[in-house]
Amino acid sequence: MTSATDPSQRFMLPADAPLLSNLAALWATEPKVAMALEAALESPAYPVEKSKSGDPTISIRTDDGRLVYLHSRYEPVKEAERLIESVAITQKTTFYLLGLGLGYHLEMLFERASSEAIFCIFEPDIQIIRAALEHRDLSKAIGSHRLLWFRDLDKSALFQRLTPHTALISVGSETVQHGPSVQLHDEFYKQVGIWLGEFASFCRTNMNTLLFNSEQTARNIARNVGWYAAAGGINRLGGRYKDCPAVIVSAGPSLRKNKHLLKGMEDNAVLIAVQTTLQPLLEMGCEPHFVTSLDYHEICTRFFEKLPSKIRTELVAEPKATPRVLEMMTGPVNLIGNDFAEGLLRELKLRKPSLTSGATVAHLAFYLAEHLGCNPIIFVGQDLGFSDGLCYMPGTSYEDVWRPELGRFCTLEMKQWEQIMRDRMILRRIPDYKGRPMYTEERLFTYLLQFERDFGKSKACIIDATEGGALKRGAEAMPLAEAIEKYCQKPLPKIESDVPGLRWDLLGPCRESLLLRKEEAGEIERISRETLPLLEEIRDNLSDQRRVNRAIAQVDELRAKMDAVGRTYDQVMQFSQQTELKRFERDRLLAAARLKGFDRQKSQVERDIENVRAVIAASDLFSQAMMEAAEELERHLSRRKEAA
């Protein structure tokens, strides 16, 4: 009896059926897709037939009655060859496949691309996935953990899954369109294309920020290690306001519409101000519970210049914030845990709890609200675009910066517009909170994308009470008055002040740790200078294997010495993020090129020489930063002794 006459055997497959190995690999790597696929086995399958070459092809009847073949009825394999022949496989590390079909092009790309490349498969039709896995063995590719599957139009999920691969994607990505698949689901792939373009902007901005700010960030953290050790952390704040509403006050131009409603809310909602809005809130008699700071630029001190001599507002800052802000703050100071700071002060074993790293003070405020356990989280003044031709709310400290330039022919409105027009080359149109067109710029757009990603995975209810600005997916738009009426009527729990005192007694040990890091950086530089001529000797004598082997043995001895200061080496390279990125790119492209023998060895040595030279330069910068920070701590200790 066969499965055709015995329905109980309809799911029995031959031992060598591709579906078995494919499903096993899929359950191990993408269980949600595997679950959907098994459920789809209950439904009728698309008809699969043999092409003239003997390879399978598949036909699908569209809603309007057309019959669409996903592959050639003659030579599906050769057709796939033509599809990918223009793809720069050896120069790319990420491939976006718009449409799976039966997987011919996927299999070819997988076999020819780097062993580290990732493949993002966008296929909304589970029956097409079923057909591919029933008729072709793709288990090797599936089991590699390098295939990312996307079946639904979910922007937040897309960004969440791609973000961990940002560095790899930045090396080089390419979109491969499977024409018949795109024809079947045109709207799906149009939207995917838009979001992939947005993610490219998101990656570009994040990588540029990392490269341009890495040295300054590291220097500020080093200068702040005294505060890092002395100030409290955020561990005591975890869950403090569980299920209480939080209002995050940003400085977007729409804040002028509803900021008056914030006065008196301190008893019924946790007010978290970004640093730009602290002064305006205090001036209107509204003292927020927290203020956030993370920017390294000295202009941020403007937001703390006119504070009262004593406030209850607690500063929650990242250690990369400009040191002057910490000194000027007249309320309690809390610093978030940071790996770089912990590494510099590893002997102290501080282990401060950290938060997700944010691009702006508003992101930091959001992560703080989540850490506090707040729900809902209400945003005001978070425009993320140029509402009403303004870039900042009137009345912020930016106007103090512009004031010397103001006059009859230069008004505040003109300065606001001038600020916008500086970015005219990177302006883009987006929908506002009512679906109308508005303008933003590349950097603000990236911040919007990060918020939308965060909102998608947050457990809290997110309310956008800005009453202006960009549409934010994952947030419910609501007037602030309505949000207050709905969520902010109960008083907050009474919590006794438990702000810890500043531990200035730790300044001495901090200074000792910095001087030790300086010595270790000197050792790294010395080892690197000894390594460099050996690598150059290897490069220049690759044909003399005996000489090369002797030099490699010496390099290995020096590498063992470097391992002893490996943790400090990682910190030294914070001063040379561009070199680290270049090394990452060269390693990935070297793997993609699949060079062999002499050519591969030469490329590897040239890469290593470039890297060692960068380590020497970075070690010098790191040593200088450690010395400057140690001297600053020495001056601080002297001032405290004099005051005592």
Q: What is the DSSP string of 541-583?
A: TTT-HHHHHHHHHHHHHHHHHHHTTHHHHHHHGGGGHHHHHHH
Supply the pLDDT for residue 392: 55
What pLDDT is attached to residue 430? 84
Stretch 184-189: mean pLDDT: 94
The better pLDDT of the pair 415, 164 is held by 164
Instruction: Write out pLDDT tens, residues 554-567.
Output: 999 999 999 999 89
- E strands within 442-554? 462-464, 476-477
Task: Give the range with max mean pLDDT: 126-140, 425-439, 592-606.
Answer: 126-140
- Judged by average pLDDT, the poorest of 160-164, 174-178, 404-408, 512-516 is 404-408
The pLDDT value recorded for residue 55 is 93
**Residue 242 main-chain phi, psi, to 5 deg:** -55, 125
Instruction: Please give the pLDDT value at position 122.
Output: 97
**Least confident piece of the model among 225-239, 407-421, 533-547:** 407-421
The pLDDT confidence band at residue 203, using thresholds 50, 70 and 90, is: confident
- Residue 644, pLDDT above cutoff 80: no
pLDDT at 176 over 90: yes
pLDDT tens-digit map of 28-75: 999 999 999 999 988 888 999 999 999 999 999 888 888 889 999 999
> What does the pLDDT read at residue 26?
95
**Residue 302's pLDDT band (boundaries 50, 70, 90)?**
confident
Beta bridge partners of 470: 432
Q: Report the range of poorest mean pLDDT among 98-112, 282-296, 361-375, 590-604.
A: 590-604
Q: What is the mean pLDDT of the segment spanning 578-596?
A: 70
Residue 607 is predicted with a pLDDT of 86
The kind and range of the H/E element at 220 are: helix 186-223
pTM above 0.75, yes or no: yes
Whole-number Å distance between alpha carbons of 473 and 451? 9
User: In Å, how far from its chain's centre is CA 594?
Assistant: 30
Model confidence at 2: pLDDT above 50: no
pLDDT at 1 over 50: no
Q: Give the pLDDT mean for 137-157.
A: 94
Over residues 482-504, mean pLDDT: 91
Q: What is the mean pLDDT of residues 610-629?
A: 92
Q: Which whole number is the average pLDDT over 573-584?
A: 76
pLDDT band at 542 (very low <50, low <70, confident <90, very high): confident
Q: What Cα–Cα distance (Å) separates residue 616 from each residue in 11, 259, 514, 613, 626?
A: 64, 52, 19, 5, 16
What is the number of alpha carbons within 13 Å of residue 90 lying toward its C-beta? 4
In this prediction, what percent of the chain has a pLDDT beyond 70?
Answer: 89
pLDDT in tens, 234-250: 999 999 999 999 999 99
| CA distances (Å), origin 409, targets 397, 401, 406, 550 | 21, 17, 8, 74
The pLDDT score that the predictor gives to residue 415 is: 56
Instruction: Reply yes or no on whether the pLDDT at 5 is more than 80.
Output: no
Give the model's confidence band at 77: pLDDT under 50 very low, under 70 low, under 90 confident, else very high. Answer: very high
> Is pLDDT of 412 > 70?
no
* Secondary structure (3-state) at 365: helix
pLDDT category at 211 given cuts 50, 70, 90 is low
* Strand order across the beta sheet in which 246-249 lies: 333-335, 314-317, 290-293, 270-274, 246-249, 377-380, 462-464, 476-477
Task: Please give the average per-residue pLDDT across 450-466, as a whole number.
Answer: 94
- Displacement of CA 214 from its chain's centroid (Å): 15
Q: Does residue 295 carry a pLDDT above 90?
A: no
Task: Please tell me the total number of residues recorded for the chain in this structure.
Answer: 644
Mean pLDDT of 617-628: 93
- Whether the CB-CB separation of 117 and 92 falls below 8 Å is answered with yes
Q: Under 8 Å CB-to-CB from 147, ≥6 apart: which residues?
A: 29, 30, 106, 118, 119, 121, 141
Q: What share of the chain is helix, strand, coil (3-state, %, to 5)?
A: 55, 10, 30
Residue 395: per-residue pLDDT: 56
Residue 82 vs residues 70, 72, 289, 636: alpha-carbon distances, Å: 15, 12, 62, 69
Say what the pLDDT of residue 396 is.
57
Tens digits of per-residue pLDDT, 360-370? 999 999 999 99
222 φ, ψ to 5°?
A: -60, -40
pLDDT reported for residue 282: 94
Instruction: Return all residues near 244 (Cβ < 8 A) that are at least 6 apart.
Output: 269, 270, 372, 373, 374, 375, 492, 493
Q: List C-alpha distances in Å: 160 to 181, 453, 458, 635.
A: 25, 6, 12, 45
In this predicted structure, the answer to whether residue 417 has a pLDDT above a threshold of 60 is: no
**pLDDT tens-digit profile of 342-384?**
999 999 999 999 998 878 999 999 999 999 999 999 999 999 8
Structure confidence at residue 328 (pLDDT): 92
Q: Give Cα 435 distance to the centre of its chain.
A: 27
Q: Using alpha carbons only, give the angle 438, 439, 442 rounded to the nearest 5 degrees.
A: 145
Q: Does position 629 have pLDDT exceeding 50, yes or no?
A: yes
Q: Residues 468, 388: contact at Cβ < 8 Å?
A: yes
For residue 74, what are the contacts with CB-CB under 8 A and spacing of at least 6?
A: 51, 52, 53
How far is 24 from 38, CA to CA, in rounded Å? Answer: 11
Which of 171, 143, 172, 148 lies closest to 159, judged by CA? Answer: 148
Work out the angle between the directed axes of helices 577-593 and 597-643 (0-180°, nearest 10).
Answer: 160
Find the angle CA(632)-CA(638)-CA(641) to the nearest 5 degrees. Answer: 145
Task: Give the integer Cα–Cα distance in Å for 191 and 189.
Answer: 5
Task: Compute, in degrees rounded to 10, the torsion defined by CA atoms 602, 606, 608, 611.
Answer: -170
End-to-end Cα separation, the chain, in angstroms: 98
**Which residues does residue 377 pair with via DSSP β-bridges, in sequence order?**
246, 462
Mean of the per-residue pLDDT values for the chain? 87
Between these two residues, 21 and 207, which has the higher pLDDT value? Answer: 21
pLDDT at position 173, please? 92
* Nearest residue to 19 via CA among 52, 54, 45: 45
Residue 92 has pLDDT above 50, yes or no: yes
